[in-house]
């Protein structure tokens, strides 16, 4: 059974880099059938797609975050990661990792439980 | 700001039908891109509720149905139940933004 689990620091200082990892279990991250993505949700607000990655390393990002975001994949560890640099309080959110199919307009059919990240000094 | 607009809230009595709209544009829903719906219960991760406009994943009650027309999509909940009280989000793809987009979200309250 496929499961996704986010991990990383719950507190990041302003101007520093937020780093999270999503461990995939129950399925190879190298499957040709999936893309892997990151989505965030500020407290009390809606969902925002951050970016997605294929096992080959092919990525695409939300244009509003593109200059600060890097998503990478480690097939040997069956996990993928998010780095968001120069964070501010506006980046405080629950961060989810999720899986979708290979079509650009596919839905995210499996989600991790989410991890809260607070940006504060 | 989201390119998919939903009403902030809808409400209904148990047993009633509520409908949530998701209004997009010619660069997303209007192009023919699929629409998906998610249910987010308090304190939990979103769950895929409807995929590819009108399909229910295994385990989702048939009280939930989706439709799409033109630049909009809708989610209907018939026979509303207390356990349906949650936030609901639509999602599609936008060709101008070259990425996935989520709706603004709708809180469903069961009176």
Residues 64-103 of A with CB under 8 A from B: 96, 103
What is the tens place of the pLDDT at every residue in B33-62? Answer: 999 999 999 999 999 999 999 999 999 999
d(CA B104, CA A19): 26
Residues 57-86 of B with CB under 8 A from A: 57
Cβ neighbours of residue A6 under 8 Å, at least 6 residues apart? A20, A21, A22, A95, A96, A97, A112, A113, A114, A115
Name which of A105, A111, A112 to mutate to probe chain B: the one with the most chain B Cβ atoms within 10 A of its Cβ: A105
For the CA atoms of chain A, what is the radius of gyration? 14
Report whether A7 contacts A25 (CB < 8 A). no
Which residues of chain A have a CB within 8 Å of the CB of B68?
none
Please answer yes or no on whether A47 and B46 come within 8 Å at the CB atom: yes
Chain A's closest residue to B104, CA to CA, is: A46
Average pLDDT over residues B79-95: 97
Average pLDDT over residues B89-96: 97
Chain B's closest residue to A112, CA to CA, is: B45
What is the tens place of the pLDDT at every residue in A18-75? Answer: 999 999 999 999 999 999 999 999 999 999 999 999 999 999 999 999 999 999 999 9
Q: Mind telling me how many Å the CA of B83 is from chain A's nearest CA?
A: 20
Q: Residue A91 is encoded by which pair of tokens?
A: 């980046």
Whose structure tokens read 């998701």? B22
B91 close to A (CB below 8 A): yes
Residues 5-34 of A with CB under 8 A from B: none
CB pairs under 8 A between A and B: 67
The confidence score (pLDDT) of residue A78 equals 97
pLDDT grade for B1, boundaries at 50, 70 and 90? low
B2: pLDDT strictly greater than 90: no
The confidence score (pLDDT) of residue A105 equals 93
Question: CA torsion angle for A41, A47, A51, A53 (degrees, to 10)?
Answer: 100
Q: Is A74 helix (H, G, I), strand (E, B) or coil?
A: strand
The confidence score (pLDDT) of residue B34 equals 97
Name which of A3, A101, A107, A108 to mutate to probe chain B: the one with the most chain B Cβ atoms within 10 A of its Cβ: A107
Chain A's closest residue to B107, CA to CA, is: A46
């Amino acid at each position: 059974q496929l499961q996704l689990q986010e991990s990383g620091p719950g507190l990041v200082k302003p101007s520093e880099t937020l780093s999270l990892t999503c461990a995939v279990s129950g399925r190879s991250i190298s499957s040709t059938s999936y893309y892997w993505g990151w989505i965030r949700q500020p407290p009390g607000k809606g969902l925002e797609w951050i970016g997605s990655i294929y096992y080959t390393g092919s990525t695409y990002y939300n244009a509003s975050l593109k200059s600060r975001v890097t998503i990478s994949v480690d097939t040997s560890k069956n996990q993928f990661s998010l780095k968001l640099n120069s964070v501010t309080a506006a980046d405080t959110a629950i961060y989810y990792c999720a899986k979708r199919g290979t079509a650009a307009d596919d839905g995210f059919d499996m989600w991790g439980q989410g991890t809260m990240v607070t940006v504060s000094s | 700001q989201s390119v998919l607009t939903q009403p902030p809230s809808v409400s209904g009595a148990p047993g009633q039908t509520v409908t949530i709209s998701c209004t997009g544009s010619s660069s997303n829903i209007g192009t023919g891109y699929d629409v998906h719906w998610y249910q987010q219960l308090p304190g939990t991760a979103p769950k895929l509720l409807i995929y590819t406009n009108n399909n229910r994943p295994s385990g989702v009650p048939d009280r939930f149905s989706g439709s799409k027309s033109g630049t909009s999509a809708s989610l209907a909940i018939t026979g509303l139940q207390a356990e349906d009280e949650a936030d609901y989000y639509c999602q599609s793809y936008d060709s101008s933004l070259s990425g996935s987009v989520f709706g603004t979200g709708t809180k469903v309250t069961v009176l």
